[in-house]
């Protein structure tokens, strides 16, 4: 069960991650995880850091997957699992996991940034034409700009 100490360590770990202090984040997440080995947040973040920093890819995959099984609707858990796949050198697996995460939170900036950095692009509007074909380019731009605006609620 989570205690005040484990919650503090978890928040400290997240702060260290933002500051790019992965070693310190790993230690903080480890302390939180050791106090409550069933909390999905602790599982996910400790697993991700263990894989990225500690090089323990198998443990990272296991912990991140367990977190997703507990709360499958959290996009940040898919983000962490995707980072583990990247640490393992599995770009295709990472993209697949990131896309699953976007189903639950389409506007997740970090997942979208990773997808862009990985060079992921949607299929051309007309698959039989090359991506650079002017018709495909025009339709792609048109759909990207108009369809999201059509789906937004008025007055929001």
User: 40-82: per-residue pLDDT in tens?
Assistant: 999 999 999 999 987 899 999 999 999 999 999 999 999 999 9
Q: Please indicate, yes or no, whether residues 82 and 151 belong to a single structural domain of this protein.
A: no
**Residue range of the domain that includes 129:** 122-156
Q: Please indicate, yes or no, whether residues 115 and 41 belong to a single structural domain of this protein.
A: yes
Q: Please indicate, yes or no, whether residues 45 and 8 belong to a single structural domain of this protein.
A: yes
pLDDT at 111 over 90: yes
pLDDT at 90: 95
pLDDT at 155 over 70: no
Q: Please indicate, yes or no, whether residues 112 and 130 belong to a single structural domain of this protein.
A: no
Q: How far apart are CA 81 and CA 46, in angstroms?
A: 11
């Amino acid at each position: 069960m989570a205690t005040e100490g484990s919650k503090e360590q978890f928040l400290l770990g997240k702060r260290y991650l933002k500051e790019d202090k992965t070693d310190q984040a790993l230690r903080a997440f480890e302390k939180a995880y050791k106090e409550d080995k069933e909390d999905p947040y602790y599982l996910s973040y400790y697993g991700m850091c263990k894989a990225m920093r500690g090089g323990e890819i198998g443990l990272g995959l296991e912990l991140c997957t367990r977190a997703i099984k507990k709360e499958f609707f959290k996009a940040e858990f898919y983000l962490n699992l995707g980072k583990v796949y990247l640490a393992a050198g599995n770009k295709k697996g990472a993209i697949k996991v990131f896309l699953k995460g976007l189903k639950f939170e389409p506007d997740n900036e970090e997942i979208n940034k990773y997808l862009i950095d990985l060079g992921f692009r949607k299929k051309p509007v007309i698959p039989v034409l090359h991506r650079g074909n002017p018709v495909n380019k025009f339709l792609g731009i048109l759909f990207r700009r108009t369809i999201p605006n059509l789906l937004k609620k008025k007055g929001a």
